[in-house]
Structure 1
Amino acid sequence: MSLILKESVTFRSHTINPWTGFYFLQSMVINSALGYEFSVLYAVVFTCALLVLWRHAPRAQKIFIGITSLVAACYFPFGQAYGAPNFNTLLALHSTNMEESTEILTIFPWYHYAIGVFIFALGIVSLRRRVTTPSTPWLKWDTMGVIFCVGSYFIGPVQNHFHGFEFRLYDTGVPVLRFVRDVAVNNYEVVKEQENMAQLSRMKDTWNVLAVKPKYHTYVVVIGESVRRDAMGAFGGHWNNTPFASQVNGNLFMDYISASGSTQKSLGLTLNRVVNGEPQYQDNFVTLANRAGFQTWWFSNQGQIGEYDTAIASIAKRADEVQFLKNGDFEANKNARDEDLLKMTAQVFSTARKQPQLIVLHLMGSHPQACDRTGGKYNEFVQSKETSCYLYSITQTDDLLGKLYSQLVNTGDSFSMVYFSDHGLAFKERGKEVQYLAHDDHFQQNFQVPFMVLSSDDKTHRVIKARRSANDFLSFFSQWTGISTEQIKNSYRFISEQKASPAYITNFKLQKVDYNHLGTDIFETRSRR
């Protein structure tokens, strides 16, 4: 009886200790900083773990707190914008150059960094707690705490099992452990895909071309960056920021859906032949054009880290002539403008060529931070400076398309030009003065992008309302260029109002999702200061 009373008094004195409340606060902020939904249960689990560690392994507890606090403090701004680690965030980490990393760091609002500092400060306070007793007897409350923590670990795997998924021990919902799991598993998947990409990129393509009947002499593919369709006046946006696209004769698709929500994954699924969900990097639209006897050119304002470091670089290197305005290293020219690509196209057009031509331009477009693209300029203030710059960056792209179109007209050759964006963006810190746009995969607007085809023989400005998916881009390319191949089956006429199959997208967890099941992220049209 005296032992029970002694343990009860010890437990009571332990629970009213202010450090218990402090650890609970610390647990809440660390769990939330890692990008997962807040859970009181897992905050209590973390608190129990810290209490038990403090009583029996205080130095180990300090090391644990130090590491988790540092990681949580650094990850907090990313977690608020992009959520928990997934395939896309790890892919971006592998593919991003120094310039792009700097831009990402400057787009987050200042108070996210302040909260990160606060999280780190809590960690410092914990580390400064003095160890007053060298050893503490093991109590039944310690045993109960361990059982509670272990039992909570299995909640995630058991829930998955009852929902029809495989029971896997590493599928825990405990945020700190889940973060480690997500980083490790997704990093492994990224490395595996990059190794596969590198291997396939060096292989000879397997295209079996059946016929080549190009209608035009010059074909141009302009790949935009991070453009939401609802931000373009020509595609129903509120602002008159696309004077060229709004009046030019051609076909504008009002319901084109990108394949995924980030550049590398989206274009990897769009521009390559896909088998069982896996891009076949050797069989892409450039190698198909090469096989059909086209002369191919690739001009890019995106960074090139290495010959095969990214899915896009691996495709670009298959062209006959390749030029990058940026090399993607520390000396990359941050001020290189998309318009500089027109100097390269002008050189191509200055010489008459007998072969059919395929020219690809890959823009920086409206990539965050948009104010870096516009030099801080904008026409109309909408909610925040970054949002305003974003709208103006689209005007810059529209102007480039107009000038490129004029270059094509001046050649005197027949031509056709397609423009589309790789993916859209979602609003972060909505309604605030620091509102900005970033990658996301939860909303339809993350995949609603412009797609238009402008040809030298177009007589009208035509709007096509039928839904089209980027997963069918190779089918479009085959029909557009007149290249028939055994590997591409055309089930409908792309440039038409014919109904196509339901559209699906690939999210950041590499899951195929019905586009219709996504939420909405409406572009607010209010202009205010």
Structure 2
Amino acid sequence: MSLILKESAAFRSQTVNPWTGFYFLQSMLINFALGYEFSVLYAIVLSCALIVLWRHAPRAQKVFIGIISLVAGCYFPFGQAYGAPNFNTLLALLSTNMEESTEILTIFPWYHYVIGLFIFSLGVISMRRRIPAASTPWIKWDTVGTVFCVASYFIGPVQNHFLGYDFRIIDTGVPVLRFVRDVAFNYHEVVVEQKNMAQLSSMKDTWTISAFKPKYHIYVVVIGESARRDALGAFGGYWNNTPFASQANGTFFMDYVSASGSTQKSLGLTLNRVVDDKPQYQDNFVTLANRAGFQTWWFSNQGQIGEYDTAIASIAKRADEVQFLKDGDFEANKNTRDEELLKLTAQVFSTPRTQPQMIVMHLMGSHPQACDRTGGKYNEFVQSKETSCYLYSITQTDDLLGKLYSQLVNTGESFSMVYFSDHGLAIKERGKEAQYLAHADKFQQNFQVPFMVISSDDTKHRIIKARRSANDFLSFFSQWTGITAEEIKNPYRFFSEQKAGPVYITNFKLQKVDYNQLGTDLFDTHNKL
């Protein structure tokens, strides 16, 4: 009886201890900061673990709290914008240069950093708790807490088993452990992907071309960046911010869907031949053009970290002539404008060439932070300064396309140019002064992008409403350039209203998702908060 009374007293001393509430608050914030769906259960699990550790291994508990508080505090802004770690976030981390890293850090609202600092401060307070001189005996409530934590660990694997998936011990739902697993697993996947990319990029292409009948002498591919289709007036957007495209004669696809929600993954799936959902980096649209007999040029305002460090760099390096305005190192010029690329195209057009030409221009476009793209300038205030800059960055791209079109007309040669964006963006901190746009994969607007083709013989502004997928880009490229290759199937006429079947996108977890099942993230067209 005395033992039971002692254990009950010990249990009451823990439950009424203010540190219990403190650990629960800390656990809720840490779990929330890591980007997973909030769960009271898992907050209780972490609280129990911290209490048991404090009672029997206080020094280990302090180290544990210090680590998880630092990680959670630093990750909080990223978690709010991009969610939990996944393949895309790890790929972006390894493919991002110093300039882009700085821009990402400046786009988050200031109060997200304050909350992150607060989470870390709670960890510091916990680490300063004085360790008792006397050792604490093990009581049955310690056993109950330990069993509860262990049992909760298996909730995720058991749920997966009943949902028809494999029962795997590592598939726990406990956020702190899940975070470690997701980082390690996705890092491994990214490393494997990059090794595969490097290997394939150095291989000779396997294209088998049976015919080449180009209609035009010059072909230009302009790859935009982060442009949502509903942000362009020419594609039904609310704002009249595309004066060139809105009046240009050409073909405008009003329902074109990107392959994924980030540059590297989306363009990797768009510009390469894909077999079993794996890009074949040696077989891309540049090597196809080379094989057909084009002289190929690649001009980019995006950073180049290394020859084969990114999917895009690996494709670019296959062109006959390549020039990056940014090298991707610490000295990269943050303020290099897309318009600088027109100097390079002007040099190409200044010399008459008998060989068919294909020029690729890869823009920075509307990449966050948009105000860095526009120098803080905008035409109309919409919701926030960053949103306003984003809409003006669309105008800048439209102006570039207009100047490029004039250059092409002045060559006196027949030509055709295509413009499309790699992916869209999602609205974050909606309705607040800090509203901004960032990469995401949950909404249709993350994949709704502009796609238009303007040629020297176009006589009217043509609209195609049939849905088209970036997964079929090589089919488009084949029909557009007149290149027939055994490896490319053309199941439908791209330049038509012919239906093309269901469209799937690849999310940040590398899962194929039916585009129709995604939610919506519409623009708020009001000008004031």
Q: CA deviation at 1:5?
A: 1.1
Instruction: Provide the residue aligned with 1:297 in structure 2.
Output: 297
CA distance in 1, matches of 2:78, 2:389: 22
Looking at structure 2, the residues matched to 252 and 14 of structure 1 have their Cα atoms a distance apart, in angstroms, of: 67
Q: How does 1:216-365 map to 2 (within 5 A)?
A: 216-365=216-365
| Aligned equivalent of 1:420 | 420
Q: How far apart are the structure 1 equivalents of 2:13 and 2:107? A: 46
CA distance in 1, matches of 2:47, 2:418: 56
Per-residue deviation, residues 204-253 of structure 1 (Å, max 9, x unmatched): 00000111100000000000000000000000000000000000000000
Separation (CA, whole Å) in 1 of partners of 2:91 and 2:108: 20
Q: How is 1:82-481 mapped onto 2 (pairs within 5 angstroms)?
A: 82-481=82-481
- Displacement of 1:135: 1.5
Query: Deviations for 1:308-343, whole angstroms, at most 9, x for unmatched residues?
Result: 000000000000000000000001011110000000
Distance in 1 of aligned mates of 2:14 and 2:359: 71
In 1, Cα distance between the equivalents of 2:10 and 2:340? 73
Q: What is the distance in 1 between the residues matched to 2:37 and 2:214?
A: 53
Partners of 2:251 and 2:504 lie apart in 1 by 23
Q: What is the SS of the residue equivalent to 1:170?
A: coil
- For residues 376 and 435 of structure 2, the distance between their equivalents in structure 1, rounded to whole angstroms, comes to 15
Distance in 2 between residues matched to 1:109 and 1:151, nearest whole Å: 38
Which AA in structure 2 matches 1:483?
I
1:189 counterpart letter in structure 2: E
Shift of 1:434: 0.6
Where structure 2 has 5 or more consecutive residues not aligned to the other structure, the ranges are none
**Alignment deviations for residues 386-434 of structure 1 (CA, whole Å, 9 cap, x no partner):** 0000000000000000000010011010000000000000000000011
Structure 1 residue 29: deviation in Å?
A: 0.3
Question: Corresponding residue for 2:526?
Answer: 526
Query: CA shift at 1:501, angstroms?
Result: 1.7
Distance 2:283 2:166 in 1: 34
- Name the amino acid aligned to 1:352: P
- Equivalent positions of 1:488-499 (< 5 A) are 488-499=488-499
CA shift, 1:14, in A, is: 1.2
Q: How much does 1:13 deviate?
A: 1.1
CA distance in 2, matches of 1:278, 1:132: 57
State the secondary structure of the residue aligned to 2:502.
coil
Q: After the TM superposition, list the runs of 4 or more consecutive aligned residues in structure 1 that deviate by more than 4 angstroms.
A: none
Partner letter of residue 37 of structure 2?
A: E
Give, as a single letter, the amino acid of the residue that structure 2 aligns with 1:463: I
Shift of 1:134: 3.8
Hey, what's the Cα distance between the residues in 2 that align with 1:283 and 1:134? Answer: 69
Q: Alpha-carbon deviation of 1:498?
A: 0.7
- Structure 2 residue matching 1:326: 3-state secondary structure: coil
TM-superposed CA distance for 1:494, in Å, is: 0.3
Q: Tell me, what secondary structure is at the counterpart of 1:302?
A: coil
What secondary structure does 1:303 align onto? Answer: coil
Q: Which moved more, 1:452-461 or 1:134-143?
A: 134-143
Distance, in Å, in 1 between the alignment partners of 2:409 and 2:166 is 58
Instruction: Look up the equivalent residue of 2:54 and give its one-letter code.
Output: W
SS at match of 2:332: coil
1:492-523 deviation line (CA, Å, top 9, x unaligned): 11011111021110000000000000000001
For the residue of structure 1 that corresponds to 2:210, the secondary structure is strand
What SS does the corresponding residue of 1:222 show, helix, strand or coil? strand
Aligned counterparts of 2:209 and 2:470: Cα–Cα separation in 1: 22
Q: Could you tell me how far apart the structure 2 residues matched to 1:484 and 1:297 are?
A: 21
Equivalent-residue separation in structure 2 for 1:6 and 1:120 (angstroms)? 36
Q: Which amino acid aligns with 1:320?
A: D
Write the distance in 1 (CA, Å) between the matches of 2:492 and 2:427: 35
One-letter code aligned to 1:164: G
Identity of aligned residues (%): 84
Moved more, 405-414 or 131-140: 131-140
Cα distance between partner residues in 2 of 1:357 and 1:276: 32
Using the size of structure 1 for normalisation, the TM-score is 1.00
Q: Which runs of 5+ in 1 are unaligned?
A: none
CA offsets per residue over residues 287-323 of structure 1, 9 Å max, x none? 0000001000000000000000000000000000000
Number of residue-to-residue matches in the alignment: 529
Structure 2 letter corresponding to 1:503: V
Q: What is the distance in 1 between the residues matched to 2:123 and 2:86?
A: 26
Report the alpha carbon displacement of residue 133 of structure 1 after superposing the two structures with TM.
3.2
Deviations 1:339-362 (A, max 9, x none): 000000000000011111110000
* Aligned-partner Cα distance in 1 for 2:517–2:160: 21
For 2:166 and 2:95, locate their aligned partners in 1 and report how far apart those are by CA, in whole Å.
31
Please give the alpha-carbon distance, in whole angstroms, between the structure 1 residues aligned to 2:175 and 2:134: 30
State yes or no: 1:485 paired with 2:446.
Answer: no
How far apart, CA to CA, are the structure 2 residues paired with 1:501 and 1:470? 13
| Alpha-carbon distance in structure 1 between the residues aligned to 2:339 and 2:180 | 43
1:20 alignment counterpart: 20
The Cα shift of 1:528 comes to 2.0
* Mapped partners of 1:468, 1:14: distance in 2: 61
Distance 1:98 1:364 in 2: 15
Give secondary structure in 2 for the equivalent of 1:522: coil
